[in-house]
Protein backbone atom coordinates (compact mmCIF):
# COMPACT_ATOMS: atom_id res chain seq x y z
CA UNK A 1 0.00 0.00 0.00
CA UNK A 2 1.27 3.47 -0.91
CA UNK A 3 1.17 5.04 2.54
CA UNK A 4 2.85 8.25 3.63
CA UNK A 5 3.98 7.34 7.16
CA UNK A 6 3.80 9.73 10.07
CA UNK A 7 6.73 10.09 12.40
CA UNK A 8 5.93 8.56 15.78
CA UNK A 9 2.74 10.16 17.06
CA UNK A 10 1.79 10.38 20.73
CA UNK A 11 -1.82 10.31 21.96
CA UNK A 12 -2.83 13.40 23.90
CA UNK A 13 -5.86 15.52 24.84
CA UNK A 14 -6.75 18.93 23.45
CA UNK A 15 -7.40 21.54 26.16
CA UNK A 16 -7.76 24.88 24.40
CA UNK A 17 -6.42 27.02 21.56
CA UNK A 18 -4.33 29.97 22.73
CA UNK A 19 -4.26 31.55 19.27
CA UNK A 20 -4.38 30.48 15.62
CA UNK A 21 -1.06 28.66 15.77
CA UNK A 22 -0.75 27.46 19.35
CA UNK A 23 -2.75 25.10 21.53
CA UNK A 24 -2.60 23.81 25.07
CA UNK A 25 -2.57 20.03 25.31
CA UNK A 26 -2.34 17.39 28.01
CA UNK A 27 0.12 14.55 27.59
CA UNK A 28 0.79 11.94 30.27
CA UNK A 29 -0.93 14.12 32.85
CA UNK A 30 1.19 17.20 32.07
CA UNK A 31 0.20 20.41 30.21
CA UNK A 32 2.26 21.51 27.19
CA UNK A 33 2.05 23.92 24.28
CA UNK A 34 1.70 22.57 20.77
CA UNK A 35 2.13 24.25 17.40
CA UNK A 36 -0.98 24.24 15.18
CA UNK A 37 0.08 24.39 11.52
CA UNK A 38 -3.33 25.50 10.32
CA UNK A 39 -4.92 28.96 10.30
CA UNK A 40 -8.47 27.62 10.00
CA UNK A 41 -10.97 27.98 12.82
CA UNK A 42 -11.65 24.22 13.20
CA UNK A 43 -14.23 24.88 15.92
CA UNK A 44 -16.06 21.66 15.12
CA UNK A 45 -12.87 19.64 15.53
CA UNK A 46 -10.83 21.23 18.30
CA UNK A 47 -13.22 20.98 21.22
CA UNK A 48 -12.08 20.63 24.85
CA UNK A 49 -10.97 17.11 25.77
CA UNK A 50 -10.85 15.94 22.13
CA UNK A 51 -8.50 13.05 21.49
CA UNK A 52 -5.49 14.20 19.48
CA UNK A 53 -2.09 12.97 18.36
CA UNK A 54 1.04 15.06 18.52
CA UNK A 55 4.63 14.83 17.36
CA UNK A 56 7.56 15.90 19.52
CA UNK A 57 9.51 18.79 18.00
CA UNK A 58 13.10 18.11 17.01
CA UNK A 59 14.41 21.29 18.66
CA UNK A 60 14.39 20.89 22.42
CA UNK A 61 14.47 24.68 22.92
CA UNK A 62 11.36 25.44 20.87
CA UNK A 63 8.61 27.30 22.76
CA UNK A 64 6.05 24.77 21.53
CA UNK A 65 7.64 21.37 22.24
CA UNK A 66 4.98 19.48 20.25
CA UNK A 67 3.19 19.69 16.90
CA UNK A 68 -0.52 18.95 16.77
CA UNK A 69 -1.02 16.51 13.89
CA UNK A 70 -4.30 14.59 14.19
CA UNK A 71 -7.65 14.89 15.91
CA UNK A 72 -10.35 12.27 16.27
CA UNK A 73 -13.82 13.44 15.24
CA UNK A 74 -16.90 11.22 15.00
CA UNK A 75 -14.68 8.14 15.06
CA UNK A 76 -12.36 9.26 12.25
CA UNK A 77 -8.82 10.60 12.25
CA UNK A 78 -8.36 14.02 10.64
CA UNK A 79 -5.02 15.58 9.79
CA UNK A 80 -4.85 19.21 10.91
CA UNK A 81 -1.37 19.98 9.60
CA UNK A 82 -2.22 22.00 6.48
CA UNK A 83 1.43 22.00 5.41
CA UNK A 84 1.23 18.25 4.81
CA UNK A 85 -1.12 18.72 1.85
CA UNK A 86 1.77 19.67 -0.45
CA UNK A 87 3.82 16.69 0.67
CA UNK A 88 0.85 14.39 0.14
CA UNK A 89 0.20 15.73 -3.36
CA UNK A 90 3.87 15.37 -4.32
CA UNK A 91 3.85 11.76 -3.08
CA UNK A 92 0.71 10.94 -5.05
CA UNK A 93 2.29 12.46 -8.15
CA UNK A 94 5.42 10.37 -7.67
CA UNK A 95 3.38 7.18 -7.22
CA UNK A 96 1.30 8.04 -10.31
CA UNK A 97 -1.96 7.81 -8.39
CA UNK A 98 -3.50 10.84 -10.11
CA UNK A 99 -4.61 10.09 -13.69
CA UNK A 100 -5.30 13.78 -14.29
CA UNK A 101 -1.54 14.37 -14.01
CA UNK A 102 -0.34 11.31 -15.92
CA UNK A 103 2.91 12.16 -17.68
CA UNK A 104 3.62 15.29 -15.64
CA UNK A 105 7.30 16.23 -15.56
CA UNK A 106 9.70 19.06 -14.70
CA UNK A 107 7.98 19.37 -11.34
CA UNK A 108 9.05 22.35 -9.22
CA UNK A 109 7.80 23.40 -5.80
CA UNK A 110 7.29 26.93 -4.47
CA UNK A 111 7.22 28.67 -7.85
CA UNK A 112 6.75 32.45 -8.07
CA UNK A 113 4.60 34.01 -10.77
CA UNK A 114 3.07 37.47 -10.79
CA UNK A 115 2.68 38.64 -7.21
CA UNK A 116 2.22 35.19 -5.70
CA UNK A 117 4.14 32.05 -4.94
CA UNK A 118 2.40 28.84 -5.95
CA UNK A 119 2.82 25.37 -4.53
CA UNK A 120 3.80 23.65 -7.78
CA UNK A 121 4.79 24.30 -11.36
CA UNK A 122 4.97 21.38 -13.76
CA UNK A 123 4.68 20.44 -17.41
CA UNK A 124 1.67 18.45 -18.58
CA UNK A 125 1.01 17.58 -22.23
CA UNK A 126 3.86 19.93 -23.22
CA UNK A 127 2.24 22.85 -21.44
CA UNK A 128 3.40 24.70 -18.33
CA UNK A 129 0.98 24.49 -15.41
CA UNK A 130 0.64 26.30 -12.09
CA UNK A 131 -0.94 24.50 -9.15
CA UNK A 132 -2.17 25.66 -5.77
CA UNK A 133 -2.92 23.01 -3.12
CA UNK A 134 -5.49 23.58 -0.38
CA UNK A 135 -5.95 21.48 2.76
CA UNK A 136 -9.61 20.80 3.70
CA UNK A 137 -10.83 19.51 7.06
CA UNK A 138 -14.38 20.89 7.37
CA UNK A 139 -17.05 18.31 6.43
CA UNK A 140 -20.78 18.48 7.11
CA UNK A 141 -23.25 15.77 6.07
CA UNK A 142 -20.74 14.23 3.68
CA UNK A 143 -19.89 17.53 1.96
CA UNK A 144 -16.41 19.03 2.32
CA UNK A 145 -16.17 22.82 2.51
CA UNK A 146 -13.31 25.30 2.08
CA UNK A 147 -12.37 27.63 3.65
CA UNK A 148 -13.51 27.47 7.26
CA UNK A 149 -12.17 31.01 7.84
CA UNK A 150 -11.92 33.99 5.44
CA UNK A 151 -8.74 33.83 3.35
CA UNK A 152 -7.53 36.92 1.50
CA UNK A 153 -4.45 34.98 0.43
CA UNK A 154 -6.65 32.29 -1.08
CA UNK A 155 -8.62 34.86 -3.08
CA UNK A 156 -5.40 36.41 -4.35
CA UNK A 157 -4.11 33.01 -5.48
CA UNK A 158 -7.31 32.32 -7.40
CA UNK A 159 -7.15 35.70 -9.12
CA UNK A 160 -3.52 35.14 -10.10
CA UNK A 161 -4.26 31.64 -11.43
CA UNK A 162 -7.15 33.05 -13.46
CA UNK A 163 -4.81 35.66 -14.90
CA UNK A 164 -2.27 32.97 -15.79
CA UNK A 165 -5.02 30.99 -17.50
CA UNK A 166 -6.09 34.04 -19.53
CA UNK A 167 -2.50 34.50 -20.73
CA UNK A 168 -2.45 30.99 -22.19
CA UNK A 169 -1.15 29.03 -19.24
CA UNK A 170 -2.79 26.09 -17.55
CA UNK A 171 -3.92 26.48 -13.93
CA UNK A 172 -5.13 24.02 -11.30
CA UNK A 173 -6.55 24.31 -7.81
CA UNK A 174 -6.30 21.02 -5.92
CA UNK A 175 -8.25 20.53 -2.70
CA UNK A 176 -7.20 17.63 -0.46
CA UNK A 177 -9.78 16.55 2.11
CA UNK A 178 -7.64 15.48 5.04
CA UNK A 179 -9.38 12.44 6.43
CA UNK A 180 -13.10 13.09 6.51
CA UNK A 181 -15.72 10.84 4.99
CA UNK A 182 -16.73 13.29 2.25
CA UNK A 183 -18.32 12.39 -1.07
CA UNK A 184 -18.43 15.89 -2.61
CA UNK A 185 -17.01 19.39 -2.22
CA UNK A 186 -18.38 22.94 -2.22
CA UNK A 187 -16.80 26.34 -1.58
CA UNK A 188 -17.86 27.70 1.81
CA UNK A 189 -19.88 30.69 0.65
CA UNK A 190 -21.28 31.45 4.10
CA UNK A 191 -17.79 31.88 5.55
CA UNK A 192 -16.05 33.52 2.56
CA UNK A 193 -18.24 34.81 -0.26
CA UNK A 194 -15.24 36.44 -1.97
CA UNK A 195 -13.35 33.16 -2.16
CA UNK A 196 -16.45 31.42 -3.51
CA UNK A 197 -16.89 34.08 -6.16
CA UNK A 198 -13.21 33.92 -7.13
CA UNK A 199 -13.31 30.10 -7.36
CA UNK A 200 -16.37 30.11 -9.59
CA UNK A 201 -14.83 32.80 -11.81
CA UNK A 202 -11.61 30.80 -12.03
CA UNK A 203 -13.53 27.69 -13.10
CA UNK A 204 -15.48 29.74 -15.66
CA UNK A 205 -12.21 30.98 -17.15
CA UNK A 206 -10.84 27.44 -17.52
CA UNK A 207 -8.94 26.86 -14.27
CA UNK A 208 -9.21 23.15 -13.42
CA UNK A 209 -10.64 22.38 -9.96
CA UNK A 210 -9.82 18.94 -8.53
CA UNK A 211 -10.73 17.45 -5.16
CA UNK A 212 -9.04 14.37 -3.70
CA UNK A 213 -9.60 12.56 -0.43
CA UNK A 214 -6.88 11.38 1.95
CA UNK A 215 -7.52 8.41 4.23
CA UNK A 216 -5.87 9.20 7.56
CA UNK A 217 -4.79 6.77 10.26
CA UNK A 218 -2.35 7.14 13.14
CA UNK A 219 0.27 5.30 11.07
CA UNK A 220 -0.01 7.49 7.97
CA UNK A 221 -2.00 8.72 4.97
CA UNK A 222 -3.22 6.80 1.91
CA UNK A 223 -4.97 7.89 -1.28
CA UNK A 224 -8.76 7.90 -1.07
CA UNK A 225 -9.61 8.84 -4.65
CA UNK A 226 -11.21 11.82 -6.32
CA UNK A 227 -14.54 13.27 -5.19
CA UNK A 228 -17.03 15.51 -6.98
CA UNK A 229 -16.87 19.30 -7.14
Sketch out the chain's domains with CATH numbers: 4-79 (2.40.50.580), 84-226 (3.40.1350.60)
> Can you give the pTM of this predicted structure?
0.94
Rounded mean pLDDT of 161-175?
95
Torsion of CA 58, 61, 62, 67, to 10 degrees: 40
In this prediction, residue 58 has a pLDDT band, given cuts at 50, 70 and 90, of: confident
pLDDT of residue 1: 64
Region of 115 please: left (phi>0), alpha (psi -120 to 50) or beta.
alpha
pLDDT of residue 116: 83
Region of 148 please: left (phi>0), alpha (psi -120 to 50) or beta.
alpha
pLDDT of residue 37: 94
CB 190 within 8 A of CB 159: no
* Total residues belonging to the chain: 229
User: Phi and psi at residue 12, in whole multiples of 5°?
Assistant: -150, -175
pLDDT of residue 64: 96
CA atoms within 13 A of residue 187's CA, in its CB half-sphere: 22
Residue 121 CB neighbour total at 10 angstroms:
18
Amino acid sequence: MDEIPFDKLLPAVFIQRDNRFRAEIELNGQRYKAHVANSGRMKELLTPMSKIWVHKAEKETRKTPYDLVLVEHEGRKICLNAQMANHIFAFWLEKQLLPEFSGANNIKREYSWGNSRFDFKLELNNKECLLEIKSVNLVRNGIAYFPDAPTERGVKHLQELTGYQKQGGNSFVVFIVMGNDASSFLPNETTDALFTQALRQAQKMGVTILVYKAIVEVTGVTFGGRIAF
